[in-house]
Amino acid sequence: MTYTTAQIWVIIILMGVGSFLVRFSFLGLIGDKELPAWILRVLRYTPVAVLPALVAPLVMWPTATDGTPDPARLLAAVATFSAGYLSKNVFVAIFCGATTLYTMLYLFG
Amino acid sequence: MSVSTPKTAYLRGLRHGAPFLVILLPFSMLFGVVAIEANLTIAQAMGFSLLVIAGAAQFAAVQLMTENAPMLVIVATALAVNMRMAMYSASLTPHIGKAPLGARAAISYFLVDQGYALSIMEYEKHPNETTANKVAYYFGTISLMCPLWYVFTLVGALIGARIPEEFALDFAVPIAFLAMTAPMLRTRAHITAAVTAVVLAILFAWVPYNGGLLIASISAMCVDACVETRTEQPS
C-alpha cells in the first residue's frame, strides 16, 4: 500500500460522509416522493454489478500465488458461489468455501 | 392484541435483530483482520467500522487499497456498493419520515441491510403503528448489531497479525464477496448482470487504475436494467 496516512483518512472520511448522505438521502433530504422504477432498480442492484467485477480478477489471479491461477482457490470460489446460490445463505456459502479451500490446500498445497 | 409502546417495540426489535449476530460478528472480526493484513492501523480499521458501517463497502475499499487503486476509484466503488441504501432510505420514508430530524439522522447513520430488512417487514405487517413505535423498533434491531460491529472489528484488528499464513486469509475477501453476492442472484437480470461483470472484469483487467472494474460494473448495471425492463414487458 502506497498511501500516506492522510490519504487513508481522506478515503475513510469521504466514504463515511458519502455513505451517510446516501442513507440520509430520502429520510432527511428528499422525503416521500414517488421514484421512477428504473432508478429504484439501479439503486437496488448496484452490488450485483460491482461485487462480481471486483471479485473475478481476485479469483483468477490470486495475490498469494503472485497472480498464477490456483486450482485450490478456483475450486473454493466455485464452491462458495454454488453453495450461496443454492442455499441463499451467506453463512452456508462461507462455510463451504472455506472447507473446500482448506481441504484442497491440505491435499495439494 | 396487546398495545405496543415504544418500549415494547424496541424490545421486539432487539429480539428480532439478535439472531443476525451469528453472521455479523465473524464478518466484523474478519474485517479487522483483513484491514490489519493490508497494513492499516487499528485506528484506521476502527475508523472504517465507525464511520462507514457497511461490510461490503469496507471490504471493497480495503481490497482496492491493497491494489493501490486511485483514491477516487476506491471511494466511487464503495459508494456504488452502498447505493442500495438510498433505496432503503426511500422505502422507509413513508413509515418514519415524520419522525424528528435527529431520529431520522440517527437511523440514517445506522441504516444497515439487516436492520432495514427486519424493519420494513415489521412496518408492512403493522402499518398503523405510531411513528414513535416504528422508530423504536428500528433502534431495537440495530442496538446489538452496530455496537458489536465496532467491538468485533477491534477484536479482529488486535488478533489480525497473529493469524498464520496457512489459513490462506488472502482468500477471505473473495470468499466473503462471493458469499454475499450469490444469494442476491434471484432473477435472470441479476444473473446476466453478474456474468457480464465477471467476463468484462477479466477481459479488462489490464486497464490501468482499476479501469476494468469501472468498465465491468457500469456495463453490468446497464445490462441488468436492460434485461429487467425487457422481461417485465408483457409479451
User: How high is the mean pLDDT in each 10-residue block of chain B (235 residues)?
Assistant: 84 93 87 93 97 94 94 94 88 91 96 91 91 97 97 94 78 87 87 94 89 89 78 54
User: Residues 45 to 104 of B: which have CB under 8 A from any A CB?
Assistant: 47-48, 50-54, 56-57, 60-61, 63-66, 68, 71, 74-75, 77-90, 92-94, 96-97, 101, 104
Interatomic CA distance for residues B178 and A34, integer angstroms: 33
What's the angle, vertex CA A80, arms to CA B111 and CA A40, rounded to 5? 35
> B84 to chain A: which residues are within 8 Å by CB?
43-47
Interatomic CA distance for residues B230 and B74, integer angstroms: 32
Share of chain A above pLDDT 70, in %: 98
* Cell reading at A4: 500516506
User: Cα B71 from chain centroid?
Assistant: 20
The pTM of this model reads: 0.84
Is the distance from CB of B224 to CB of B188 less than 8 angstroms? Answer: no
Query: Within 10 Å of residue B117's Cβ, how many Cβ atoms?
Result: 13
Which residue of chain B has the CA closest to A34? B90
Q: Output B30 or A43, whichever has higher pLDDT.
A: B30
> A67 to chain B: which residues are within 8 Å by CB?
none
Q: Does B126 touch chain A (CB under 8 A)?
A: no
Nearest-CA neighbor of B137 among B17, B24, B1? B17
Q: Which amino acid is at B103?
A: A
Q: CB-CB: which of A26, A62, A98 is closest to B170?
A: A62
Mean pLDDT of chain A: 90
Interatomic CA distance for residues B151 and B82, integer angstroms: 22
pLDDT at A109: 67
Which residue of chain A has the CA closest to B93? A27
Nearest-CA neighbor of A12 among B106, B53, B158, B107? B53
Residue B213 to chain A, least CA–CA distance (Å): 6
Interatomic CA distance for residues B208 and B198, integer angstroms: 17
> A64 to chain B: which residues are within 8 Å by CB?
168, 170-171
pLDDT at B19: 87
Terminal C-alpha separation, chain A: 27
Q: Would you call A76 and B93 a contact, using CB atoms and an 8 Å cutoff? A: no
Q: CB-CB: which of A2, A48, A77 is closest to B224?
A: A48
Q: Which residue has the cell 463497502?
A: B57
Q: CB-CB: which of B40, B87, B101 is closest to A44?
A: B87
Helix (H) or strand (E) holding B202: helix B188-203
> Is the alpha carbon torsion for B86, B88, B91, B97 positive or negative?
negative
pLDDT at B233: 53
Q: Would you call B65 and A1 a contact, using CB atoms and an 8 Å cutoff? A: yes
pLDDT at B72: 95
pLDDT at B128: 92
* DSSP class of B216: H
User: Phi/psi of residue B114, each to 5°?
Assistant: -70, -40
Q: Would you call B86 and A43 a contact, using CB atoms and an 8 Å cutoff? A: yes
What confidence tens digit (pLDDT) does each residue in A56-96 have? 999 999 878 888 999 999 999 999 999 999 999 888 998 99
DSSP, collapsed to helix, strand or coil, labels residue B61 as helix
Q: CB-CB: which of B66, B68, B108 is closest to A24?
A: B108
Q: Would you call B201 and A52 a contact, using CB atoms and an 8 Å cutoff? A: yes
pLDDT at A48: 85
pLDDT at B2: 59
Q: What is the ipTM of this complex?
A: 0.86
Q: Does B179 touch chain A (CB under 8 A)?
A: yes
Interatomic CA distance for residues B156 and B124, integer angstroms: 37
